[in-house]
Amino acid sequence: MAATADTRMTTLAAGLLTLGMAVTVGSALGFQYIGGYIPCALCLMERQPYYYGIPVAGLAFISSIAGAPAWVTRLLLAIAAILMIVGAGMGVYHSGVEWKFWEGPSTCSTTASGVTTNAGSLLDDLNTVHGPSCTDAAARFLGLSFAGWNVIASLVLAAIAVVGLRARR
């Protein structure tokens, strides 16, 4: 019975992890495409652990359901946890850049200019329009920028992965 409860906990954790990662990066994409928030270079980099982690967590979910050897599911959950810890570290770095605790990369020093409504100069705009500066938070909610909220989301998701990792022994 304990093995069944452990398997259910691992399956639940892998499912929540996959869903949580998809919702987090989906929210970022929604803010970008629906809300009109243009991401900076660091914002785009912070999405990478999610892009890699969603398939890994999905495979952990599938392997847990399919009854794969415990080491397979645990390895996949460990990889997902590491990816989320890396994501949290990237969020801390970006938040520090926004709060001016340290310098950001030189590629983030430009500010966004408006895209033209003239279709004739659209190709020229693609070469001249850059994302916003990484030092300026697009918005803050409860005192945290998107980068700050990414730190929290990444740590919560890493904790979920660790719970699933520890449940299946």
Predicted confidence at residue 3, as pLDDT, reads 54
Q: What is the pLDDT of residues 96-122, one digit of tens each?
A: 888 888 877 777 755 444 455 565 665
- Average pLDDT over the chain reads 82
Predicted confidence at residue 111, as pLDDT, reads 47
Predicted confidence at residue 123, as pLDDT, reads 62
pTM of the model: 0.80
**Which CATH code for domain 11-104+126-167?**
1.20.1550
Angle at which helices 48-66 and 70-98 pack, to 10 degrees? 160
| Nearest alpha-carbon partner for 131 in 152, 108, 149, 154 | 108
Predicted confidence at residue 1, as pLDDT, reads 41
> Domain locations in the chain?
11-104+126-167
Q: How confident is residue 165, by pLDDT bands cut at 50, 70 and 90?
A: confident
- Please check the confidence at residue 127 and state whether its pLDDT lies above 70: no
- Please check the confidence at residue 49 and state whether its pLDDT lies above 80: yes
What's the burial of 36, exposed, middle or buried (CB within 10 Å: 0-12/13-18/19+)?
Answer: exposed
Q: What amino acid is encoded at 48 in this protein?
A: Q
Predicted confidence at residue 103, as pLDDT, reads 78
